[in-house]
Homo-oligomer: A and B are copies of this chain.
Amino acid sequence: MAATLKDIARQVGVSVTTVSRALAGYDDVAEGTKERIKAVASELGYSPNIVAQRLQKQRTDTLGFIMPTFGPRFSDPFFSEFIAGVGNEAASHEYDLLVSAHAPNSAGELKAYERAVRRGWVDGLIVVRTREDDTRIQLLCAHNFPFVAFGRTSDDLEFPYVDEDSETGMRLLVQHLIDLGHKRIGLIAAPSGLMFGRYRLQGYYDTMRDNNLPVQPEWVVEGDMTQRGGAEAVTPLLGINPRLTAIIGGNDLMAIGAINRIQQQGLQVGRDVAVGGFDDIPLAAYTSPPLTTIHQPIYEIGQRTCAMLIDVINGRAPTTPHSLLTPTLIIRESSGNPI
């Protein structure tokens, strides 16, 4: 059924070599022959066998992306938007994108990375949500495998990455709340071990300290990055006496969960308790009240990460192996008026 070069060669009466070269557009094939070959090729509905090409070219033109998802079910808009960015950029360079999902630090995840490092699976990998002491990155560096990360690590490994300056972002948000008159600000932090959570935490502590505002240990609780996690984490925060006047979600999803729980307790967000988020997912503008948050251009980050990876794969040293994006504060209603 599927036509091969050999089929065309037989029918036209030339060698496989000539067919290959004619189709590839070399100029050492006579015009007439080229015509005939092309005619037969399209008549037979020929299209090259991609696997054979890959074997011969010794490259797969495929990028890999292993999503670090907590639990099999998840629904983090971060991933769909990031995939869109990476995928479209990849497509525009004629690369395919292979995706899979594994829980962070799980055995499955490690196996997936080991598989990826094998030759012939993908040409390069994209790593997101970097961790302190990140085994994925250690493995990749050790094997000298091409990859680009979204996020930095605490190791002093040298590798190309894109990252947002989360610390500055958090400073912006905390300062905004302080400027509004808040002094008792709680934080629902990302799970420990995640680098971006660490930077955000740092930004929080530093800004409080710079404003001479003490922080009680119980003002910071961990959440699992989901709405449910945000809702659950906010409960102890609301029990603190005297009450916190503002609560920050380590990401928008947790902030949304927090808003929900705060309202269930009969408090009004933006008046009784100010709430801030982080990420500016599309939904953030549509919560009630709309969420004050820090904007991250996830789609563009995906594009940029992908473009860098393609550079790395092709041996072009990226002009800027480390790019740090500047975040912006989006003020909406959840942070309320000055008190």
Contact = CB atoms under 8 A, between A and B. Distances in A.
Given A231-B286, A256-B283, A87 B75 contact: no
A214 interface: no
Nearest to A90: B100
A49 interface: yes
A296 to B, nearest CB: 12
A288 B288 contact: yes
Contacts of A79: 80, 83
B72 A84 contact: yes
Contact of A77 (B50, B62, B75): B75
Contacts of A72: 84-85, 88, 299
Contacts of A51: 51, 54-55, 60, 120
Contacts of A67: 84
Interface string A272-311: 0000000001110111101000000001000000000000
A329 interface: no
A7 to B, nearest CB: 13
Given A260-B290, A290-B260, A227 B87 contact: no
A159 interface: no
Interface in A74-132: 74-77, 79-81, 83-85, 87-88, 90-91, 96-101, 108, 118-121
Given A52-B55, A55-B55, A75-B281, A87 B101 contact: yes
A123 to B, nearest CB: 11
A292 to B, nearest CB: 15
Nearest to A281: B75
B76 A80 contact: yes
A259 interface: yes
The 5 closest A-B pairs by CB, nearest first: A75-B77, A51-B120, A80-B80, A47-B118, A260-B286
5 contacts: A51-B51, A74-B80, A75-B81, A80-B80, A87-B100
